C-alpha cells in the first residue's frame, strides 16, 4: 500500500491524526506526477470536489472516503466505471440536520434573530418593539425528499401538529400525503423543506414557478444542497415579495451567500452547520476512520455507496 493519501479539503482533527499516523497526507496542490499513481485513497467531505479531471490523475485510486453524506462533488459515473468505492457517513447526522431544519423554521417564523438583536443592541430597553411573528404549530409543511432526513423532519413536524405532505419520486409513505409534482406540493403548503440529495437531474428544482406557487406567505427551508435552488430566482422572489420567507443552511457557491438578501428581515442564513455538533462530528469521524481501517486491512468497507 502507498505511503501517501490524498485530501482535497481540510480534515477533521481525529481523521487527520489517524491518517497522519499511517500515511503522508498530500493536498491536491501538492500532488505531483510521481505521487499521483501511488494514491489509492482520497479523503474528502460533502464540499470536496472529485471531478473526472482529478480522477484521471489518479489511475490507482480505489476508495473515496467522504466525511459527510453529500457527494455531489464526486463524479459518481466515473467512479462506477473505474470501480472506485465511495464511502459516506450515513445515519449519524440525520437527527442534527432535522433539528436544524426545525430551528430555521422557528427562527424565521418567530423572528428569533431579530428579537435577539433588538435586546442585545439595547433597542428593546429604549422602547422599540418587534412586529408580530407567525405561529408554527398546525402549519402545512411539504418535505422534498423523504429519505432518512426527510422522515426525521416529518416526525418533528408531527410533534407540532403540522399537516405533512411530501414530494419524492422513489418513496411512498402511507402516513403522509404524496404529491407527484413539486409545484402542486408548493401550492398546498405553508413551508417547503428541502431534504433531497443533489443530483444532475434535480439541479434548480426549486425554480421561479415553485417559489411563486409557495407564495407571498410561504417559507422555503433548505438543509440539503444549494444546487437544488435557483438562487437568482430566490433573490428575485424575496425582493418582489412573491415568496414570503426563507431559511438557508446551504448555498450554490459556498462559502458565498446571496448578498442581496443580507439585510432582509424575513431571511435567516446559517453557514452550512447542519451536522456541526460535537457528538455528530465524533461519530462521523469514527465512520471515516473505520472505512480507512477496513481498506488498509483489506476487509469489507463499512458504508460504501451502491454505485
Which domains does the chain show, CATH number per domain? 4-92+279-296 (3.40.50.720), 94-269 (3.40.50.720)
pLDDT of residue 40: 97
Q: Are 254 and 47 in contact (CB under 8 A)?
A: yes
Least Cα distance to 54 among 28, 76, 30 occurs for 28
Determine whether 148 is an active site residue.
no
Check 225, 231, 252, 281 and give the catalytic one. Answer: 225
pLDDT of residue 22: 96
Determine whether 172 is an active site residue.
no
pLDDT of residue 122: 98
Check 231, 252, 272, 281 and give the catalytic one. Answer: 272
Distance, in Å, from the CA atom of 182 to the CA atom of 202, rounded to the nearest integer, reads 11
Check 30, 77, 123, 254 and give the catalytic one. Answer: 254
pLDDT of residue 255: 93
pLDDT (tens digit per residue) in 220-279: 999 999 999 999 999 999 999 999 999 999 999 999 999 999 999 999 999 999 999 999
Give me the residues paired with residue 178 across strands.
166
pLDDT at residue 2 greater than cutoff 80: no
pLDDT of residue 1: 67
- Of all residues in the chain, what percent carry a pLDDT higher than 70? 100
Is the pTM here over 0.85, yes or no? yes
Q: What is the layout of strands, in order, in the sheet containing 267-269?
A: 177-178, 163-167, 140-144, 191-194, 219-222, 245-248, 267-269
pLDDT band at 46 (very low <50, low <70, confident <90, very high): confident
What average pLDDT does range 120-128 have in this prediction?
98
Cβ-based burial of 227 (10 A; exposed 0-12, middle 13-18, buried ≥19):
buried
pLDDT (tens digit per residue) in 175-226: 999 999 999 999 999 999 999 999 989 999 999 999 999 999 999 999 999 9
Give me the DSSP letters along the chain: --SEEEESS---HHHHHHHHHHSEEEEGGG--TTTGGG--EEEEETT--B-HHHHHT-TT--EEEEESS--TTB-HHHHHHHT-EEE---STTHHHHHHHHHHHHHHHHTTHHHHHHHHHTTTTTTT--PPP----TT-EEEEE--SHHHHHHHHHHHTTT-EEEEE-SS---TTSEE-SSHHHHHHT-SEEEE-PPP-STTTT-B-HHHHHHH-TT-EEEE-S-GGGB-HHHHHHHHHTTSS-EEEES--TBTTB--GGGTT-TTEEE--S-TT-SHHHHHHHHHHHHHHHHHHHTT---SSB---
Distance, in Å, from the CA atom of 182 to the CA atom of 192, rounded to the nearest integer, reads 10
pLDDT of residue 32: 97
pLDDT band at 33 (very low <50, low <70, confident <90, very high): very high
What average pLDDT does range 94-116 have in this prediction?
98
pLDDT of residue 194: 98
pLDDT of residue 276: 96
Q: Are 144 and 185 in contact (CB under 8 A)?
A: yes
pLDDT band at 118 (very low <50, low <70, confident <90, very high): very high
Mean pLDDT, the chain, whole residue set: 97
- φ and ψ of 54, to 5 deg: -75, -45
Q: Are 211 and 243 in contact (CB under 8 A)?
A: yes
pLDDT at residue 62 greater than cutoff 80: yes
Q: Are 244 and 216 in contact (CB under 8 A)?
A: yes
Amino acid at each position: 500500500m502507498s505511503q501517501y493519501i490524498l485530501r482535497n479539503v481540510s480534515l477533521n482533527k481525529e481523521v487527520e491524526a489517524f491518517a497522519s499516523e499511517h500515511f503522508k497526507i498530500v493536498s491536491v496542490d501538492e500532488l505531483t506526477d510521481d505521487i499521483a499513481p501511488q494514491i489509492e485513497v482520497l479523503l474528502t467531505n460533502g464540499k470536496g470536489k472529485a471531478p473526472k479531471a482529478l480522477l484521471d490523475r489518479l489511475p490507482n485510486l480505489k476508495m473515496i472516503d467522504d466525511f459527510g453524506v453529500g457527494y455531489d462533488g464526486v463524479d459518481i459515473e466515473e467512479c462506477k466505471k473505474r470501480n472506485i468505492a465511495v464511502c459516506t457517513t450515513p445515519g449519524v447526522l440525520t437527527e442534527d440536520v432535522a433539528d436544524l431544519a426545525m430551528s430555521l423554521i422557528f427562527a424565521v417564523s418567530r423572528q428569533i434573530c431579530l428579537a435577539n438583536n433588538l435586546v442585545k443592541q439595547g433597542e428593546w430597553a429604549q422602547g422599540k418593539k418587534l412586529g408580530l411573528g407567525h405561529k408554527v404549530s398546525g402549519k402545512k409543511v411539504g418535505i422534498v425528499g423523504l429519505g432518512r432526513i426527510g422522515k426525521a423532519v416529518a416526525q418533528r413536524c408531527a410533534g407540532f401538529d403540522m399537516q405533512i405532505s411530501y414530494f419524492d419520486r422513489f418513496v411512498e409513505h402511507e402516513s403522509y400525503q404524496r404529491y407527484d409534482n413539486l409545484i402542486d406540493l408548493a401550492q398546498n403548503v405553508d413551508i417547503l423543506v428541502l431534504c433531497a440529495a443533489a443530483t444532475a437531474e434535480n439541479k434548480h428544482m426549486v425554480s421561479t414557478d415553485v417559489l411563486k406557487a409557495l407564495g407571498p406567505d410561504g417559507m422555503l427551508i433548505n438543509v440539503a444542497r444549494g444546487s437544488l435552488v435557483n438562487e437568482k430566482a430566490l433573490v428575485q422572489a424575496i425582493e418582489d415579495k412573491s415568496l414570503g420567507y426563507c431559511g438557508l443552511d446551504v448555498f450554490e457557491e459556498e462559502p458565498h451567500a446571496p448578498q442581496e438578501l443580507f439585510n432582509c428581515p424575513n431571511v435567516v442564513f446559517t453557514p452550512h452547520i447542519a451536522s456541526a455538533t460535537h457528538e455528530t462530528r465524533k461519530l462521523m469521524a469514527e465512520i471515516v476512520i473505520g472505512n480507512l481501517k477496513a481498506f488498509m486491512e483489506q476487509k469489507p468497507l463499512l458504508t460504501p455507496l451502491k454505485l
